[in-house]
Amino acid sequence: MSTQIRLRNCAKTFADGTRALAPFDLTIEGGETIVLLGPSGCGKTTILRMIAGLEFSDAGGVISFDGDDVTRQSIEKRRVGMVFQSYALFPNMTVAENVAYGLKVHGVPGKERDARVDAMLEMMHIDMLADRRIDQLSGGQRQRVALARAIAVQPRVLLLDEPLTALDAKLRVRLRTEINALLRKLGITAVYVTHDQEEAMALGDRIVVMQKGEIAQIGTPREIYRKPQNPFVADFVGAANRMTGQMRDGRLHIGAHVFDAVDAFDPRHGAIIDQGAVELYFRADGLSPCDLDEAHFTGRVEAVSYLGERLRLTVSGIGPQAVTIDTHADDVIETGADVHCRVNADRLTVFPAVAAHS
């Protein structure tokens, strides 16, 4: 059975006074893959190391595996598998010896050990590399060895800290798919740290978005993508366009235009935003180019980038900062031209304006 992990009231202040994590609660269900997502320095690795037993929570925090309190237990006893961005393979051992190491430490007898190592190598498609030295492997091969080594001992939880960050884009996507399949097949509880939104969406059953040592939102990839709970999450998962408006009697006013069909539920206050200044966050699909007579706004094209299947315009004069709008790849648009566009109100995420909620 896979292990459920509970962190209660955990926080971390380092010896030098750095407050890496404010007190937080987090429950990871057995067999679930949780992704910790956030910009560099927000505390993702610290949470992972706390679960591993490499860092201890400040006083008052409790960590339990399946109800067993492991708060003061050291990493050797916790049975966690770790996979690092730098691979951390033992350079003085071959591939097979690396994978066998944990089994050897646990006293698994030679014959059974060899069989399990072979099975692991085969599962990770590196059986032909068994006798290689580590410095003879590519980055992708190294990470496969690291994965095999970590899961060989059948850990209670697999902890992965940006395992694909050091690899090139194509390999990253391929290995990501494989890791996803592996995690489903093993049914193991996993915590995966990344700063890459796409990776988080692809792998996570749930995503924990973090901001400066605090949890900004926990949700399924769909919830995080479609219903970001605050401007930080919206911005971080790609809804980086911003406009300002007013809510009056439940209707959204932007400039002289009024929109009815907006989802103005504010999850943090658990209420519909009825009145007051609001900020609107949206992706490129929040505005679409149109003819002048249908347009809500007209802006000026500052830059054009060709994305293959579409053309992405950077447009000024609509929001407080430039916004991005997508148009057909075949359109011929020059920098400096005027562009007319409509607001797709159902694509807007509405937050109370900063002054109202900070």
Report the interface residues with ligand ADP, using CB under 6 A: 14, 16, 18, 20, 38, 40-46
| Residue 128 burial (CB count, 10 A) | 10
- Where are any strands of DSSP class E within 184-322? 189-194, 206-211, 214-219, 241-248, 251-254, 257-259, 265-266, 271-272, 276-282, 287-289, 297-306, 310-316
Q: Which one of ligand ADP, Mg ion, other proteins, none interacts with residue 150, CB within 5 to 8 A by kind?
A: other proteins
Q: For residue 14, give every residue at least 6 positions away whose Cβ sits within 8 Å of its Cβ, in sequence order, or none.
A: 20
Rounded least distance, CB 94 to other proteins, Å? 9
Q: Output the six-digit token pair for 195.
A: 């700063």
Q: Which one of other proteins, Mg ion, ligand ADP, none interacts with residue 264, CB within 5 to 8 A by kind?
A: none
d(CA 287, CA 47): 38
Bridge-based pairing state of the strands 257-259 and 265-266: unpaired
Q: Which one of ligand ADP, other proteins, Mg ion, none interacts with residue 75, CB within 5 to 8 A by kind?
A: other proteins
Q: Phi and psi for 152 in degrees, rounded to 5?
A: -60, -35
Cβ(318)–Cβ(270) below 8 Å = no
Measuring CA to CA, how many Å separate 252 from each of 258, 271, 349?
A: 6, 16, 12
Rounded least distance, CB 21 to ligand ADP, Å? 8
Applying CB under 5 A, which part among 25-33, 41-49, 194-202, 343-351 lies near Mg ion? 41-49
When the beta carbons of 189 and 197 are compared against other proteins, the nearer one is 189
Q: If binding is defined by CB under 8 A, does position 52 make contact with other proteins?
A: yes
Q: Which one of ligand ADP, Mg ion, other proteins, none interacts with residue 18, CB within 5 to 8 A by kind?
A: ligand ADP
Closest-approach residue to Mg ion (CB) = 45
Q: If binding is defined by CB under 5 A, does position 230 make contact with Mg ion?
A: no
> Contacting Mg ion (CB under 5 A), which of 3, 45, 217, 241?
45
Q: Which one of ligand ADP, other proteins, Mg ion, none interacts with residue 100, CB within 5 to 8 A by kind?
A: none
- What does the per-residue mask of binding to other proteins show for 70-89, with x meaning CB under 8 A? ----xxx-xxxxx-x-x-xx
d(CA 223, CA 209): 12
Contacting positions for other proteins (CB under 8 A): 52, 54, 74-76, 78-82, 84, 86, 88-92, 101-102, 105-106, 133, 149-150, 153, 155
